[in-house]
């Protein structure tokens, strides 16, 4: 007699030799994995990103470029969306790389920005494609008078995995960026 047969007998009172109905083997799933299977929650492979913020120093509150690679960019305290600092980009760029992150595991991908729209954003994927968001996209979304949230998540194709984000400052006028987020969905 198998363990499964004994379990059924104890629950139903049926004969010890009664055959079990065919059923999936879910008994080794964790509690959260079981919720994922039966309640339409995000895929189990998103668990490592559960409520995780992947951008290091997205608000520049270290006062330096910890977590970022940059060229000619400045940490600036004259404008900030939150905290004490932002990043000023003028003829400059910053970028940050990640271990491959599935788009569907994110509930936020974006940043706050103020200044000139004559700039560029790149989002790179592990299949060596990327999404380019330049002046045509930024125009009308940001200005000099108030901070605006730029929602990048709505611009990226489904099924992609992010490996890098990059922000360029053009030559026309500076822009400032702050509170860059790449945040995992919550289970
Ligand atoms: Ca900040």
User: pTM of the entire structure?
Assistant: 0.79
DSSP 21-44: PP----TT--HHHHHHHHS--S-G
- pLDDT band at residue 37 using 50, 70 and 90 as cut-offs: low
**pLDDT band at residue 119, thresholds of 50, 70 and 90?**
very high
Quote the ligand 1 centre to 155 CA distance (angstroms): 24
2 CA to centre of ligand 1 in angstroms = 61
The whole-number pLDDT of residue 154 equals 96
Phi, psi of 171, rounded to the nearest 5 degrees: -100, -5
CA of 11 to the centre of ligand 1 (A): 58
Domain ranges of the chain: 3-41, 48-184
Whether the Cβ atoms of residue 102 and residue 185 lie closer than 8 Å to each other: no
How is residue 59 written in tokens? 């608000």
* 3 state SS of 66: coil
Task: Output the six-digit token pair for 178.
Answer: 């702050």
Greatest extent of the chain over all pairs of C-alpha atoms, in Å: 82
Average pLDDT over residues 48-55: 97
Work out the average pLDDT over 88-109: 97
3-state SS assignment for residue 65: coil
CATH number 3.30.70.1380 given to 48-184: no
Residue 123 C-alpha to ligand 1 middle, in angstroms? 21
């Amino acid at each position: 007699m198998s363990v499964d047969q004994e379990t059924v007998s104890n629950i139903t009172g049926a004969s010890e030799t009664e055959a079990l109905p065919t059923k999936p083997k879910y008994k080794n799933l964790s509690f959260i994995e079981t919720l994922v299977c039966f309640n339409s929650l995000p895929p189990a492979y998103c668990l490592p990103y559960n409520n995780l913020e992947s951008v290091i120093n997205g608000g520049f509150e270290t006062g330096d470029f910890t977590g970022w690679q940059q060229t000619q960019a400045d940490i600036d305290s004259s404008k900030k969306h939150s905290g004490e600092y932002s990043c000023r980009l003028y003829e400059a760029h910053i970028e940050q790389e990640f271990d491959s992150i599935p788009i569907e595991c994110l509930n936020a991908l974006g940043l706050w920005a103020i200044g000139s729209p004559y700039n560029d954003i790149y989002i790179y994927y592990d299949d060596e494609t990327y999404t380019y968001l330049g002046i045509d996209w930024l125009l009308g979304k940001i200005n000099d008078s108030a901070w605006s949230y730029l929602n990048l998540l709505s611009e990226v194709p489904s099924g992609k995995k992010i490996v890098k984000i990059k922000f360029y400052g053009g030559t026309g006028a500076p822009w400032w960026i702050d509170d860059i987020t790449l945040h995992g969905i919550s289970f």
